């Protein structure tokens, strides 16, 4: 199966004053199209860094990342702008640009991935919040809005950076069901998590705590 994402000889380290920490050294990965990959590892292992490298939000010291054989260039991800990647970040505050919930949702595409989207919007409680300002939403309501925006996108590659760290059990269950359907439809999924129990969601795992990081089949 062809590589949807290919990582070649990647190196990345962080420097602070006289200290330096190597995150990746000669990292090579091939993430097959249509796979559901769970990325795990302890704090500081490079989970979020790997995601940012794939998105082009961080520039490697050496090596390259290819998305469908096209080299990912540093900067705001062109793949996100052209709807080739749907990205659910930990920093959900960075996702909102409009005044009201209705305006925020209008940015999303009309072609919906999930057939029962109206039911999901109702479950998330967004059907009663259309006229509310985004600024007035509670933390939980903003989580619902970010999740709905992510699920409204029809991108072939879905990337999630530790969503379970801030979603309650109901929203996590909705997300799990959505990811299962997305995977069945042939989408490629990268799911960063700190919960070992979520390994069973996917088909492959990348354990960044291993000395020789590779893609393993579950």
Whole-number pLDDT of residue 143: 85
| CATH code of 190's domain | 3.40.50.300
**CA gap 44, 41 in Å, rounded:** 8
**pLDDT at position 114 over 80:** no
**pLDDT at position 96 over 50:** yes
For the segment 24-43, the average pLDDT, to the nearest whole number, is: 95
Tokens of 52: 């940012």
What's the DSSP call for residue 42?
-
Structural domain count of the chain: 1
What's the DSSP call for residue 73?
P
Is residue 216 within 8 Å of residue 49, measured between CB atoms? no
Whole-number pLDDT of residue 82: 66
Tokens of 198: 């979520």
**CA gap 29, 37 in Å, rounded:** 12
Range(s) of the domain holding residue 189: 3-217
pTM of the model: 0.87
Residue percentage of the chain with pLDDT more than 90:
43
* Pairing of the two strands 36-40 and 62-67: unpaired
**pLDDT at position 187 over 80:** yes
């Amino acid at each position: 199966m062809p590589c949807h994402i290919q990582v070649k000889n990647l190196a990345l380290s962080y420097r602070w004053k006289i200290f330096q920490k190597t995150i990746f050294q000669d990292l090579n990965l091939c993430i097959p199209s249509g796979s559901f990959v769970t990325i795990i590892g302890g704090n500081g292992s490079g989970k979020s860094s790997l995601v940012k490298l794939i998105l082009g939000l961080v520039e490697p010291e050496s090596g390259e990342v290819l998305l469908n054989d096209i080299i990912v260039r540093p900067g705001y991800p062109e793949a996100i702008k052209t709807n080739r990647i749907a990205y659910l970040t930990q920093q959900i505050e960075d996702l909102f640009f409009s005044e009201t919930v209705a305006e925020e949702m209008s940015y999303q595409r009309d072609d919906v991935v999930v057939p029962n989207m109206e039911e999901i919007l109702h479950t998330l409680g967004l059907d009663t919040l259309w006229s509310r300002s985004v600024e007035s939403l509670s933390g939980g309501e903003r989580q619902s809005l970010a999740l709905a925006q992510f699920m409204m996108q029809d991108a072939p590659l879905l990337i999630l950076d530790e969503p379970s760290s801030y979603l309650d059990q109901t929203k996590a269950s909705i997300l799990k069901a959505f990811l299962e359907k997305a995977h069945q439809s042939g989408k490629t999924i990268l799911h960063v998590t700190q919960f070992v129990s979520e390994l069973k969601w996917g088909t492959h795992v990348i354990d960044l705590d291993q000395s020789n990081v590779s893609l393993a089949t579950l």
